[in-house]
Structure 1
Amino acid sequence: MRSPRKVLLTGTVLLAAAGLLAGCGTGQAGAGDGRVQLRVATFPPGADAAAYEAFAAQEEQFEKEHPDIDVIGVEYEWEGPTFAVQLAGGSLPDVFTVPFTDTKTLLENGQLTDVTDAIERLGYTDAFNDVILDGVTGDDGHLYGFPRQAYAMGLHYNRELFAEAGLDPDAPPTTWDEVREYAKQITEKTGKAGYAQMAANNTGGWQLTAATVARGGRTQVDEADGSATSTIDNDATKAALQFLHDVRWTDGSFGARFDLDWGTINQEFAAGNLGMYTSGSDVYTALVRDFGMAPETYGLGVVPVEGDDPGTLGGGDVAVISPTADETTVDAAVEWIDWYYMQKLLDEDAAVADAKTLADSGQAVGTPLLPVLSREQYEESLTWIEPYINVPRDQMSAFIDDIWEQTPVGEPKKKTQEVYALLDTVVQTVLTQQDADIDALLKNAQSDAQALLDQ
């Protein structure tokens, strides 16, 4: 393949992508010529034309080195509830990415391909961070995916709204009291929401868990026998909900949207309607590429921490192979994953080639991440690609400088998404009912979560 014409689009084709694809077919290119056709995930719907241009260039490089493989990009966005339907319907790409929080469920259901031998052969087994590798390790000790990217939770803020409100754009808040104070000032001075938080499609539970960890609490505890105990009803989670209540009902600085999820909160932020929110530190790329945010408006700091045992909730995603792929396709998929995702983490030439291709296409290079390997390896890789870094890292210095002082905490391992869904309702109730009984909500949520864990 030599152009973006073979990126298969699902749903409505946006104008940016349509311009690249106009007049070109999306049929069985490469069929019958002896090459292995490999369907690989590319971008979620809405990615700009430059993203597809970058992918086309990388695809051409890969196919030049692997002439027996015909790569077909598939527009893709992970959604847990639709995975089984895609799997049954045969529409799942051969290679796709899955959040850490979903890999355990897919492992339990036998829905991932064993890549233990491939990871060992490529020499990555001992290179990965042990905490991260745990997310792709099955009960049988085998490995079922390549951890490719990790993040810590960050506080994202709009520098223009900070300046308009009389706040220093280079000094984001460092305590939850300051977050509340800054949010109120932003709303009073600009009329925009000072602070908002995700509350729908399991993201409410995700962010409530992050807020709990930041205040020294945990929503789930692993037991020695492999079971788990729900600990949702704790002081840290109560404090996190009380914070939301006060921002919403006392200060009036939360805004008018109480059903935001990952996509819609990014839309609101990129449009300049929101002063601050928490999410993964890697979201800058999507904000610019998929949501049209102006880079100069962006700022990133660490999530404030307090309490006796605080930390920053971490996450990331894993490159995996469809369980329906045959042996030949699996071999091709491993070659693609190694080339597209992994080599740039360890090899200078691969890192530079990747960064140059992305930079030449106007894509983000240098977005702050947590290393899936070692910190030393990650920081060395940044020196390799320094000439191509194009993200405003000076506007992210509050995060880059301070994140290493925070303790990374993994997401709950058992029934993660199901429990997050329970907590969505708790968050929404606090945001929509001024007299919500937080104590009762937490007591009921803990009981319901434990019932799930005991299944």
Structure 2
Amino acid sequence: MKSTRKPAALILVGALTTGALAACSGGGDPEGESTNASGQVTLSVVSLLPGSTEEAVAAFEEQVAEFEEANPDIDVVPEEYEWKATTFAAQLAGGTLPDVFEIPFTDAQGLVENGQLADMDAQFRALPYAEQFNPTILEAGTGEDGHVYAIPAKNAYPVALHYNRALFESAGLDPDQPPTTWEQVREYAKKIADANPGVAGWATMTQNNTGGWQLTAQTVARGGRTVEVDGEQKATATLDDAGTKETLQFLHDLRWSDNSMGANFLLDWGSINQEFAAGQVGMFTSGSDIYTSLVQTNAVDPDTYGLAPIPLSDAPEAATLTGGTLAGVPAGVDDAVKDAAIRWIDFFYLDKLVDEERAVADAETLAANDQPVGTPVLPMFSQEQYELNQEWIADYVNVPLDQMTAFTDAMFDLPLAGEPSQKTQEVYALLDPVVQAVLTDEDADIDALLADADAQAQAMLDQG
């Protein structure tokens, strides 16, 4: 996937992570007892979603074994966990997260301000490629003191349109020509639903803060915003702007006029993936990187998968919402755990992006276990480094890139926008019930619902 185009600016203030996180065994020992009976540092790390396939588990275990062979002084303890905005804070406060956990860009600043993340600056600066990061990505995990607390762990992603090619064909649609406008999305959704009784031609997330996330994504795609921040960092709630109202009316019409959205209106990141992989959803929006999880956890049929950019309106500010994942370590862990953590972060997440030998070894392990290699994402460093990395692993790429060309041909030219930089998850939580109301009450008053949510959001923003 070579491109000669200039990379788009990465406006990555934050985003709800599309990948679920893994973990739950208590973070490092604040008293310094981080070694086991063999004198090794015991390091608990996020692994995979519960219910991941045997092949995915085998690939992860091989990676752990490779790391431990190269680092005999570290005993890695993988733990499964699914990140949810509604439970994460309690788990972190309760000490039930692992020593290395993942967080969305949107959460890092609040955790730094609350003193809940370990200062990883010294460990981060020791990485040989520390100065190569896209500065906007690095900023997401950097505190006001200039220290790095959370380290970019995965390439960034834009929100994209995911669609089922088999359902397209069943409805007489060309799977190589995905919709490029919201009007086409509505038209295609109805055709899919009419041709496949019980199937949602279009579906959207509605709970655990994901309803607000995707409502915001579609608002931004129509040129709107849910929070505006001025040059003095004063935040103004704009939940009731025209883009949000237009999105909710769009959902209302698909649900009540077209009967194109099926019968399940309580979906979040994990459950909509499951419904999609099972052939019960024709189209939905989420991060561009979810193909990996669809394979690892939901056993999606690769032949049915298609990926395209989220449709953008003609509004001047229309853009694609972006996001990404950071790796964090709980505050209070000792230096031995922090040093072990940076070695794992380097090995598992980052070195494979900048080192050819490591990139090939990682891709070979994944491909040998039938795990996705080459899922499209935005570059963490530069477009040039990303394309070089793709050349290194070309022999192992096994994702259906020919079914993703609508996205990959456009990915470096997309106008990008970050998520709300203040009270992000809280704003999303306020919008969840608005989306649910529109999908469950035909007479829902969109203006009133948004006015109420906007007032609540402004009160939260004013509290700082």
**What is the TM-score of this pair, normalised by structure 1?**
0.92
> Is the 2:23–2:46 Cα contact (8 Å) retained in structure 1?
no
- Whether 1:376 aligns to 2:381 is no
- Specify the alignment match of 2:400 in structure 1: 392
| Pick aligned residue for 2:96 from 83, 91, 94 | 91
Aligned-residue CA RMSD (Å)? 1.8
1:36 counterpart = 2:41: yes
The corresponding residue for 1:138 is: 143
- 1:2-81 matches, cutoff 5 A: 31-81=36-86
Deviations 1:86-125 (A, max 9, x none): 3354331101111112212212221111122222221444
Q: 2:273 corresponds to which letter in structure 1?
A: N
1:213 has 2:220 as partner: yes
Partner-residue secondary structure (3-state), 2:437: helix
Alignment partners' CA distance in 1, 2:189 and 2:225: 26
Q: Which amino acid aligns with 1:327?
A: D
Q: How far apart, CA to CA, are the structure 2 residues paired with 1:232 and 1:384?
A: 44
**Contact residue 197 and residue 204 of structure 1 kept, 8 A:** yes
Q: Which amino acid aligns with 1:313?
A: L
Structure 1 residue 9 displacement after superposition: 8.5
1: distance between equivalents of 2:323 and 2:285?
Answer: 13
Farther-moved stretch of structure 1 (402-411 vs 375-384): 402-411
Contact 2:85 2:209 in 1 (8 A): no
Alignment pair present for 1:425 and 2:430: no
Q: Does 1:445 align with 2:453?
A: yes
Which residue, out of 160, 166, 177, partners 2:172? 166
Using the alignment, how far apart are the partners of 1:353 and 1:65 within structure 2?
A: 13
Query: C-alpha distance in 2, partners of 1:54/1:121?
Result: 28
Correspondence for 2:8: none
Displacement of 1:10 after TM fit?
A: 7.2
Q: Which residue of 1 aligns with 2:275?
A: 268
| Counterparts of 2:89 and 2:179, CA distance in 1 | 42
Letter of the structure 1 residue corresponding to residue 387 of structure 2: E
Offset, 1:308: 1.4
Select the residue among 286, 294, 308 that pairs with 1:301.
308
Describe the SS at the equivalent of 1:206: helix
Deviation string 1:296-337 (CA, Å, 9 cap, x unpaired) is 111111100011111100011111112232111111111111
Q: Which moved more, 1:306-315 or 1:218-227?
A: 218-227
Question: Given the superposition, is the C-alpha separation of residues 126 and 206 from structure 1 closer, same or farther in structure 2, using an over 3 Å criterion?
Answer: same
C-alpha deviation, 1:266, in angstroms: 0.8
Gaps of 5+ in 1: 1-7, 12-29
| Residue matched to 1:317 | 325
1:133/1:418 CA distance change after superposition, 3 Å: same
Structure 2 residue 115 is matched with structure 1 residue 110: yes
Q: How far apart, in 2, do the equivalents of 1:260 and 1:208 lie?
A: 13
Is 1:291 aligned to residue 298 of structure 2? yes
Deviation string 1:204-227 (CA, Å, 9 cap, x unpaired) is 100010001101111111122223
Q: Is 2:136 aligned against 1:128?
A: no
- Say if 1:320 and 1:9 are closer, same or farther in 2 by CA, change over 3 A: closer
State the partner residue of 1:234. Answer: 241
1:250 to 239, 253, 257: 257
Higher relative contact order (CA 8 A, sep 6+): 2
In 1: Cα distance, 2:24 partner to 2:55 partner: 18
More displaced 10-residue stretch of structure 1: 121-130 or 179-188: 121-130
Provide the C-alpha distance between the structure 1 equivalents of 2:134 and 2:424, rounded to a whole number of angstroms: 21
Query: How far did residue 32 of structure 1 move?
Result: 1.2
Whether contact under 8 Å (1:202, 1:424) holds in the other structure is yes
Instruction: Give 1:84 shift.
Output: 4.1
CA distance in 1, matches of 2:216, 2:320: 10
Task: In structure 2, give the amino acid aligned to 1:119.
Answer: F
Q: Distance in 2 between matches of 1:163 and 1:302?
A: 20
- Cα deviation for residue 446 of structure 1 reads 1.4
TM-score (normalizing by structure 2): 0.90
What is residue 176 of structure 1 aligned with on the other side? 182
Deviations 1:139-192 (A, max 9, x none): 222211111221111100000000011000111100000000000010111122
Q: Structure 2: which 5+ runs fail to align? A: 1-21, 26-34
Which letter does structure 2 place at the counterpart of 1:438? I
Mapped to 1, the partners of 2:89 and 2:125 lie a distance apart of: 29
Q: What's 1:185 paired with?
A: 191
Tell whether the 8 Å contact from 2:46 to 2:78 is kept in structure 1 after alignment.
yes
For 1:384, the aligned partner's letter is: W
Instruction: Note the alpha carbon deviations across 1:234-274, whole angstroms, 9 max, x for none.
Output: 11111111110111111110111111111111111011011
Q: CA offsets per residue over residues 13-54 of structure 1, 9 Å max, x none? A: xxxxxxxxxxxxxxxxx8311111111110111111111111
Identity, in percent, stands at 55
